[in-house]
Amino acid sequence: MSPPAPSMRKPVLIQVFAWIGMLTLLGASIGLSFLPMDSYRIAIHLSLAGAMAALVAGFFMSLRNAPLLARILALSALIWLALLLVYSLTDYLSR
């Protein structure tokens, strides 16, 4: 008797739950966009976008299970991008 074929139900369910989490964050972000505009709202929207992006990278791009080299490269991308944005914007934000 051959062993039962492995089920892909659990990994698929994990992706579905991550997707539901993203849609929840998206709904919250859209709802908050009707609050009065101020700098806090910008920070909230960008934080929620960052949280959704982290879920996409962690689950859809499998970064949570990725080899160390892939994680280091993903972190490097984030650091280089942060250097570009933070160093450039510091000039404007500190005026």
Partner 1 sequence: MNADTATPGLAEQFVDLQQQRRSSLAGMWIFIATEAMFFGGWFLGYAVNRFLHPEVFAQAATHLDLLMGSINTGIILTSGMTMACAEIAGQFERRRPALVLISVTIFLGLVFLAIKGYEYHHEYTEGLVPLAWLEFSYDGAKPEIAQMFFNSYFILTGLHALHMIVGVGLLCALWILVWRWRESGRVARQMQVIGMYWSFIDIIWLFIFSSLYLLHA
* Interface with partner 1, residue 81, by CB under 8 A: yes
Residue-by-residue DSSP string for 38-83: -HHHHHHHHHHHHHHHHHIIIIIT-GGGS-HHHHHHHHHHHHHHHH
Tell me which of 59, 64, 90, 94 binds partner 1, using CB under 8 A.
59
By the criterion CB under 8 A, which residues form the site for partner 1?
6, 8, 11-12, 15-16, 18-19, 22-23, 26, 29-30, 33, 37, 41-42, 45-46, 48-49, 52-53, 56-57, 59-62, 66-67, 69-70, 73-74, 76-78, 80-81, 84-85, 88-89, 92-93
